[in-house]
Structure 1
């Protein structure tokens, strides 16, 4: 049974950094952020005071980018806003049997690791699915599809709050779209996630209506609207 009210989903970055991804975290006081080249996401407590913001600034350094993801807390006035993007958090049912497999097979799906980073970064640069760095693949399993040896589609696991795994970096090269690659990869990831007793979830920009429609066909439903925000430290 999927718990739509799970508090872990209200602070996915902080709960990931304090749990499954603790080995990829940097911490100072109650502030935390990922190691460089893994992710830019940072986290503070639900009601951070000036000292906590100072700790996060100390972790990141002066004039650094602080990606607060969906954290609603407002930094001090001397933190420069960089971006604000409307989005939504979507969750999938708690069992693979609920998912509609548009392709009916995961044939051709391959695991991607450190030896595939150059290909992954190239595909991300061409498709812009969201932030992806040289060590992002260390967050979880990443899967891909190749066409004549060339990586043309991928998707993977990112945030890991307790009981949940986020599906992210879903992208397909322009010349390979319309073949069901994204659905095949998402279904393959969902199968792995539910097999280990967790539930899948994801985040998507509100303007990406095509992706929202695809996720809906695959069984995902909107849990809540979110605002993604980034700032620059003083």
Structure 2
């Protein structure tokens, strides 16, 4: 049975575990490699040293996407955005949905994936985001990629479904439902449970996920900051050893 307590810190759990090979770390601060993801994580009980380590890791004036962490940074960190959302999970023991025929996407599809993201704005997606896990898609009769969804965070026992998007001209055809169902079936088949995050204002997506069988686990707050731009350096007591 997957422990849902790890979902309280999905970024940190992923960077310490399944995605450790995609991480940079200083002390108790960690972030993804460039072009993979912008998410960063610190200790669940951060002190001044942890924040200084993260600032050192990211660099001055850099973007820190703290995802669903409630911890507030010290003075000098400038807020970029705050967004209310919810975390939804697949109920334990619920039968897997029937998978539908979809295409597996890989590195050769990245230009088309980036073009689709540019048209639909589903959230952060970079050149190497595909390295996080499986991505599936739908192409129209002309070969244009018109819908996709994939795997992102991987805390122990769980896989996040993300980047769910459909080009405007292809909406209303059930592509998102088929892609999420296919990913859900694959995650369950390997003994894990799927979860996802969605903005509270995105009522259409919430309704879709509920129809598929997902339930709300928690309300979350997504937050982004820029690191201090003054030459503050790192605290003398920092235990960080530098980026790896």
Scaled to the shorter chain, the TM-score interval is: over 0.9
Whether 1:207 aligns to 2:229 is no
Aligned equivalent of 1:110: 103
TM-score for the superposition, normalised by structure 2: 0.91
Distance 1:208 1:198 in 2: 26
TM-score, normalised to structure 1, is 0.94
Q: Confirm or deny: 8 A CA contact 1:95 1:194 kept in the other structure.
A: no
What is the deviation of 1:94?
3.5
- Output one character per residue of 1:18-66: Cα deviation in whole Å (capped at 9) or x when no partner: 0000000000000000000000000001111111101000110000000
After alignment, is 86-95 or 202-211 more displaced?
A: 86-95
Tell me if 1:160 matches 2:158.
no
Given candidates 140, 157, 162, the residue that maps to 1:147 is 140
Q: Distance in 1 between matches of 2:88 and 2:177?
A: 16
- Provide Cα deviations, 1:116-163, integer angstroms capped at 9, x if missing partner: 011000100111111000000000000000002110000000000000
- Mapped partners of 2:211, 2:96: distance in 1: 11
CA displacement, residues 83-118 of structure 1 (integer Å, 9 cap, x when unaligned): 00000000012356254x5xxx512x1111110011
User: What is the CA-CA distance between 1:77 and the residue it aligns to?
Assistant: 1.3
Whether 1:131 and 2:124 are equivalent positions in the alignment is: yes
Q: Does 1:46 align with 2:44?
A: yes
Task: State the match for 1:37 in structure 2.
Answer: 35
- In 1, are the aligned partners of 2:96 and 2:184 still within 8 Å (CA)? no
Match of 1:14 among 12, 15, 19: 12
- Give the aligned length: 227
1:82 and 1:97 map into 2 onto residues whose CA distance is 40
Counterpart in the other structure of 2:176: 182
SS in 2 for 1:97: coil
1:122 to 85, 98, 115: 115
Larger Rg, first or second structure (1 or 2): 2
* Residue in structure 1 matched with residue 215 of structure 2 by the alignment: 221
Q: Secondary structure at the match of 1:8?
A: helix
